[in-house]
């Protein structure tokens, strides 16, 4: 059974990694040496495809969502990546677990939305963001801006897996305007499908 975080830990904050290493936009565009990060993991982390769809294809199960937080944060920057300023305020923060239909947690995601429009795009809040937007036929561009390798004791407890963990953040653009900022962290459980990350700091 997947461990759960204590109720006192939610929804006070969101779960950012304490980075041991991170990549800038140049590395994201060029890709990393395969001796530093395995190609399958690069496709998941650096690609602009839907992680919800990728997870479903990897596991053979539908990707489902457990919403753990919907908080109005106003104009607070919320210790989020600096790109949060691209999302008009006041804002709403949403936190979810992405899991298989059988209950295995695969990823954690936080997203920040303009509060006045969040209900327009997340009409069914139990669906993954991509599924919600696909139902609306929303044309999107996923702009990956940061990739991280780091630790989080909260996520280690929640995933039931020791760190370190891989994460990233990106903007969704719609009609030339930023729609939402998303921060994702993936469980090492995915090595069962993608193989070892082969990550080495300093290569």
- Tens of pLDDT, residue by residue over 142-152, are 789 999 999 99
> Domain boundaries in the chain?
18-194
> CA nearest 186: which of 163, 167, 202, 201?
167
Q: Quickly tell me which residue has 């395969």 as its tokens.
A: 34
- Tens of pLDDT, residue by residue over 21-71, are 998 888 888 888 888 889 999 989 988 778 888 899 999 998 888 989 889
Name the CATH architecture for the domain at 18-194: 3-Layer(aba) Sandwich (3.40)
Cβ atoms 179, 120 nearer than 8 A: no
Region of poorest pLDDT, from 90-94, 141-145, 163-167: 141-145
Whole-prediction pTM value?
Answer: 0.85
């Amino acid at each position: 059974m997947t461990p759960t975080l204590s109720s006192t830990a939610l929804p006070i904050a969101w779960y950012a990694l304490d980075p041991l290493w991170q990549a800038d936009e140049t590395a994201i565009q060029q890709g990393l040496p395969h001796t530093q990060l395995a190609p399958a993991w690069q496709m998941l982390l650096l690609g602009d495809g839907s992680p919800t769809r990728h997870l479903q294809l990897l596991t053979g199960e539908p990707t489902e969502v457990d919403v753990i937080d919907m908080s109005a944060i106003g104009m607070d920057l919320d210790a989020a990546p600096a790109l949060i300023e691209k999302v008009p305020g006041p804002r709403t923060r949403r936190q979810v677990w992405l899991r298989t239909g059988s209950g295995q947690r695969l990823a954690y995601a936080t997203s920040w939305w303009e509060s006045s429009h969040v209900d327009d795009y997340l009409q069914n809040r139990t669906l993954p963001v991509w599924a919600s937007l696909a139902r609306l036929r929303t044309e999107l561009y996923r702009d990956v801006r940061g990739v991280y390798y780091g630790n989080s004791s909260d996520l280690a407890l929640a995933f039931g897996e020791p760190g370190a963990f891989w994460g990233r953040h990106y903007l969704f653009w719609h009609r030339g305007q930023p729609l939402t900022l998303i921060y994702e962290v993936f469980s090492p459980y995915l090595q069962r499908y993608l193989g070892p990350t082969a990550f080495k700091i300093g290569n």
